[in-house]
Amino acid sequence: MDIPGAPGTGGKLSAAAKRKELAQIASFFLKQHSAYDMIPVSFRLIVLDTKLLVTKALSTLVQN
């Protein structure tokens, strides 16, 4: 991975180089961690069905 500001780069990276570097960092992070590591213990996951009526979805959220 390139280091921004490293000698020889003039301290500037092109937009494409920045995107590539960010993608490499994200890829490395995701390979080292599971999804459970990234979600706090107190986190609530809400999955909504796109075919569910809004009124039914809201009433379900209020009940829980």
pLDDT, average across residues 14-24? 91
CA separation for the pair 25, 4 (Å, rounded): 13
Whether the model clears a pTM of 0.75, i.e. scores above it, the answer is no
- pLDDT tens digits, 26-50: 899 888 877 666 666 666 766 667 7
Percent of the chain with pLDDT over 70: 59
Q: What is the pLDDT of residue 37?
A: 66
Compute the Cα dihedral for 8, 30, 42, 58 and give only its sign.
positive
Asked if 13 and 4 touch (Cβ cutoff 8 Å), the reply is yes
